[in-house]
Amino acid sequence: MPHPLDPLTADEIRRAAAIVRHDREAGDGWRFASIELKEPAKADLPALENGRLAADGRLAGREALVVCWNRADGQAYRATVSLSGGAGKAAGAGGEVTGWEHLPGQQPNMTVDEWHECDEMLRAHPALARALARRGITDMSRVLTDMWAYGAALVPERYRGRRLGWSDVWYRGSERGNPYAHHVSGLHPVVDLNTMTLLEMEDSYEGGEAPDVMGEYLPSLIPMRLREVTPLEISQPQGVGFTLDGYQLSWQNWQLRLGFNHREGLVLHQVGWQDGEGRLRSVAHRLSFAEMVVPYRDAGPDHYRRTAFDIGEWGLGFMTTSLSLGCDCLGEITYLDAVVHDSRGEPRTIPNAICVHEEDSGVGWKHVDERAGVEVRRARRLVVSFHVTVANYEYLVYWRFYQDGNIECEVRATGILVTSHTAAPGSRPANGTLVDQDTYAPFHQHFIVARLDLDVDGADNTVYVTDSVPAPAGGDDPFGLGLVVRTTPLRTEEGGKQDYDWGTQRGWKVVNDNVPNGLGTPVGYKLVPSAAFPPLLDPASPAFQRAQVIGHTLWVTPYREDERWPCGDFPVQSSRDSGLTVWTEAGRSIENTDVVLWYVFGIHHITRPEDWPVMPSDVVSFWLKPSGFFDRNPALDVPPSHDLG
């Protein structure tokens, strides 16, 4: 019996698609954009876990959420599929479609199949061959096209209503050369993805040679010898310190449940801390990345359409790549596979998609005393990670659990920068950095939205903004030394829109006012911001209109089961976000209730020559730190290293 939060299995994915095909007579012309577990309502979970009964007493079954569309007319639908109930109308499948919602005017997420079909179609198209031949490129086996989605405001009037893609064209310098090293600047096919036909070939080529670029990273292709490095190995001769039972992960005091879907990739459920008395204390109900917005900040013809929604358009789950031992992860590693699907509803397994392992983390605490001597503890952390490749870029995501109650979320961005040729030989770009001969990388920003459904010792929490301010001098403080922390509760969604302020060392404390710690103060966890930056976008610009979540560092909403995607359910070809800005218009109460935090962080990427030809990992993170959750340092009971084994 699966746990109610376990991701859909390959068999369940296949059955969900078969049930929709059968019940809705969805033939070969239909495509599946997404098939995922419909997670049970939060209120039903405890009952489901003990005896699998929903709150109303009915037998709980597994359900899938399916988004599909008919390529013939472009109409999209969202289905709820019962995988276990029903009269088994679909031959041999069991289950039935229990909900069916038409989504007029919406474009479902892009699919990997469309990306490949588009590339194949274009590379076989005479119009592309002609455009490339003018530039002296005739070997089509070295050509790669890379299709991007549109924002509605940029769709030409004549193509309104179609499912559209626009594409870059790239050329490999050799058989195994970097596909993103040589941009065929000024050449952009526009494609109808439903008919998979070329609508037009934008081409602004006016002659001239492509720049001579060294864009390679394979050892056999780079113009230098590899440096000498000695081996560094990590071993745990007595095995690992964690246990994994299905998707349930336990390590020292930490307990959590792993999940995975096409859009968020890795999801962490039911994160809790087991205290010394065997009491499991809740910290978070659910942690994930809900959106990533990457506006390129260059208005030139090669880049003006480039605002990627890597989660809403493409999906971190779909883009997850297999990890390899000794390279991506060092030491005693446990891997989990993940299952996604293709656009025909066939499951696709990603082997070694999620990595679980322990890491040394330097000194955890230490004191040297004349009499007691040196007392020092190594710190250790449990890491759960996954890597995604979104065309040219890699995002590596690490959730780290520490012995002192800290949770760290780290993102590394690496891969290949998008580049194009400068306007003229020798010219300097206004909105980017020269990274190779007459080749520049436009400035851009990666905004990641973490959806943090914290439940600190229970669901009813209040978020307090904390600002450090100097106390006014005088009175009892003639030397002006006093520092006070101004703590202000966020009561409604309007107040829940928060901006970072390094000047006051602002943070946000998620507090359960109903539960005191041993000192009599309420328990809490603090969101410690870092890697936050302003959008620096005109509020009227289409990029901002589609992703208004990036206008604040933090948003706080009351938990609603169907509020999952901050820029809206379907950002593909959107004109305005239909997520957080719409939900928060109601100004709902966020006081002493089940709150969800939406934290916006990422990389303000002012490109550098050192980011080329492959970018050294850029590392950003934020922390969730216990703040009065414990009565004292919870890592006091960590044994000294010489006692181990």
Provide the annotated active-site residues: 310, 393
- For residue 313, the 8-state DSSP code is I
- Least distance between Cu ion and beta carbon 579 (Å): 23
Residue 412 binds Cu ion, judged by CB under 5 A: no
Angstrom CA distances, 251 to 244, 273, 446, 448, stand at 9, 10, 32, 28
Of the candidates 565, 560, 529, the one whose C-alpha atom is nearest the C-alpha of residue 546 is 565
Span from 81-89, 177-185, 309-317, 604-612 in contact with Cu ion (CB under 5 A): 604-612
CA distance 446 to 528: 19
297 binds Cu ion (CB under 5 A): no
* Shorter beta-carbon distance to Cu ion: residue 122 or 294: 294
The CB-of-645 to Cu ion minimum distance in angstroms stands at 43
Closest to Cu ion by CB, 166 or 393:
393
CB of 552 to Cu ion, least distance (A): 21
- Nearer to Cu ion (CB atom), residue 534 or residue 640: 534
Q: How many Cβ atoms from other residues are within 10 Å of residue 319's Cβ?
A: 23
Q: Are 617 and 396 in contact (CB under 8 A)?
A: yes
- Bridge partners (DSSP) of residue 624 are 407, 527
Q: Which stretch binds Cu ion (CB under 5 A): 101-109, 250-258, 355-363, 598-606?
A: 598-606
Buried b (16+ CB within 10 A) or exposed e, 37-73: bbbbebebbebbeeeeebeeeeebbbbbbbbbbbbee
Among 114-122, 227-235, 517-525, 602-610, which window interacts with Cu ion (CB under 5 A)?
602-610
Using rule CB under 5 A, residue 183 touches Cu ion? no
Nearer to Cu ion, 199 or 619 (CB): 619
Residue 146 Cβ vs Cu ion, minimum distance, rounded to whole Å: 16
- Name the minimum Å distance from CB 440 to Cu ion: 14
Which region holds residue 294: left if phi is over 0, alpha if psi is between -120 and 50, else beta?
beta
Q: Which two tokens stand for residue 338?
A: 């993940």
Which residue type is seen at 217? Y
**CA torsion through residues 35, 41, 47, 49, sign:** positive
Provide the pairing of β-strand 444-454 with 280-295.
antiparallel
Residue nearer to Cu ion on the CB measure, 447 or 508: 447
Smallest gap, in angstroms, from Cβ of residue 245 to Cu ion? 38
Cβ closest to Cu ion, residue 506 vs residue 605: 605
* Alpha carbon 187 to its chain's center: 30
Q: Is 395 or 399 the residue whose CB approaches Cu ion more closely?
A: 395
Total residues in contact with Cu ion, by rule CB under 5 A: 1
Structure tokens at 620: 């950003």
Stretch touching Cu ion by CB under 5 A, among 89-97, 186-194, 199-207, 597-605: 597-605
Tokens of 342: 């293709």
Phi-psi region of 548 (alpha: psi -120 to 50; beta: other; left: phi over 0): alpha
Residues 379-398: x where in contact with Cu ion by CB under 5 A, - otherwise, as a string: --------------------
The Cα–Cα gap between 172 and 181 comes to 7
Q: Please tell me whether residue 377 binds Cu ion under the rule CB under 5 A.
A: no
Q: How far is the CB of 17 from Cu ion (least distance, A)?
A: 35
- 77 is written with which tokens? 């639908």
Among 605, 623, 624, 625, indicate the residue that binds Cu ion (CB under 5 A).
605
State which residue has the least CB distance to Cu ion: 605
By CB under 5 A, tell whether 303 contacts Cu ion: no
Q: What distance in Å separates the CA atoms of residue 316 and residue 391, rounded to the nearest whole number?
A: 12
Give me the residues that bind Cu ion (CB under 5 A), please: 605
